[in-house]
Amino acid sequence: MHKRSLLAILALGAIAAACTKKEEPKKAEAPAAAAPAAEAKAEPLKAAFIYVGPVGDAGWSYAHDLGRRAAESKLGGKVVTSFVEKVPEGPDAERVIRDLVAQGNKVIFATSFGFGDSMEKVAKDHPEVFFEHATGFKTAPNLRVYEGRFYEDAYLAGVVAGGMTKTNVLGFVGSFPIPEVLRNINAYTLGAQSVNPKVKTKVVWVSAWFDPPKETEAAMTLMDQGADVLLQNTDSTAVLQAAEKRGKYAFGWDSDMSAFAPKAHLGSCALNWAPYYEKAINDVLGKTWKSENTKWGVKEGVNDFVKVSDAVPADVKKKLDDAKAYLVANPGAVFKGPLVDNAGNEVLAANAVADDAWKAKVNFLVKGVEGKIPSGK
């Protein structure tokens, strides 16, 4: 029939058009899912990175990518890197990792907590490849974990927040109630309380690492409830931009976000993964790689609090510098006893300093944080 043949022609035409190269709109420089340009020699080590979000998020994944590029340029021709962005945590991640191994990558970096199970499975099948999992906890002879001491950054932000808040109510936009995020909320509150014992923190959970519309709604909700300095554990600039819109303060998270909110930005809890990526790749090249659990923070240069705004008065800046110096001298010593959770139970005895085991199992909110931890996801 006439109509059917017309439809068939249309369908074929659409397929033909999709297959031919079209004029592509301007994209960000880094292509997605790029394998390195075909190199003739097998000499340079091939390393691959997978990100949970887009490199353009100006946050978590962007920071990892900056670290990747810095490490690659520092190490010259010894390593060639590639990355895959926006990999969803779940079965698809496993497929992507296996694909990267098949492409000849000898070390794979997975930059989100949810990639852990997939990394474990592929590591078991490929003992000749090294696997590095950021913010994970499962290890194997060829799988190790690394992490920044993000709570140090959150603590520093808290010190500034405590000095800048006028309502004594702080806000936190949380992703998922996992120990990493709970540590950050607690550190933020403790940092603020160290300069201003009266502060309270309100938390809203958005159940996503990267969802700008939801992050904006959460930020608006917090500000409606009286919060005037916001911190987040999510990956976009939405919270900062929402604070700018309402004339309140917020911080950049994971990267330097000062360009996005000139008035609201007090400082950025920036991550610099270059030192770690250099070390990891050198470990593989020098055959000194061993499975361990690395936590680097302010002292090693992975965590830093940058671009402190001019709006922060000198006395608060001094307290911030003191706190930074303290963390360089005492890495990770943010949680010191006596600590009480917001239900009244003591979680850390007086004179005790929390160790890594304690920090890995944080499942409470300290006194001063309002609300309970949602159950389930």
Partner 1 sequence: MNDLALLVAATLAAGTPLAIAGLGLLVNERAGVLNLGAEGIMLVAAVAGFAVTFHSGSDALGLVAGALAGALVAIPFGWLVIWLGTNQYATGLAVSLFGGGFSAFVGMGYVGKKLLERPDHSIPFLSDLPFLGVAVFRQHPMVYLAIALTGAIAWFLYRTRPGLVLRSIGEAPDSAHALGYPVRKIRLAAVVAGAALCGLSGAYLSIVYTPLWVEGMTAGRGWIALALTVFATWRPARVLAGAYLFGGVTMLQLRLQAQGVQVPTEFMAMLPYVSTVVVLVLISRNTTWIRVNMPASLGKPFVPGS
Please give the residue ranges that form the binding site for partner 1 (CB under 8 A): 3, 6-7, 25-28, 32, 54, 56-58, 62, 171, 202-205, 207, 210-214, 216-218, 220-222, 224-225, 236-238, 241, 244-245, 259-260, 370-372, 374-377
Bridge partners, 252 (sequence order): 268
CB 100 within 8 A of CB 114: no
Least distance (Å) from partner 1 to the CB of residue 44? 28
Least Å distance between CB 7 and partner 1?
6
Tell me the β-bridge partners of 341: 366
Question: Which of residues 325 and 343 has its CB atom nearest to partner 1 in the complex?
Answer: 343
Cβ-based nearer residue to partner 1, 26 or 287: 26
Q: Which two tokens stand for residue 159?
A: 């010190």
Structure tokens belonging to residue 254: 């994971």
Taking the least distance from each CB to partner 1, the nearer of 262 and 286 is 262
Kindly state the smallest distance separating residue 309's Cβ from partner 1, in Å. Answer: 17
Q: How far apart are CA 324 and CA 203, in angstroms?
A: 25
Q: Which backbone phi and psi does 279 adopt, to 5 degrees? A: -60, -45
Least gap, CB of 35 to partner 1 (angstroms): 18
Q: Smaller CB distance to partner 1: residue 20 or 351?
A: 20
Tokens 């939405």 locate to 238
Place of tokens 């006596």: 338
Nearest to partner 1 of 217, 283 (CB atom): 217
Contact status, residue 201 vs residue 369, Cβ threshold 8 Å: yes
**Shortest Cβ 326–partner 1 spacing (Å):** 31
Instruction: Kindly give, in sequence order, each residue whose CB lies less than 8 Å from that of residue 349, ignoring residues fewer than 6 positions away.
Output: 337, 338
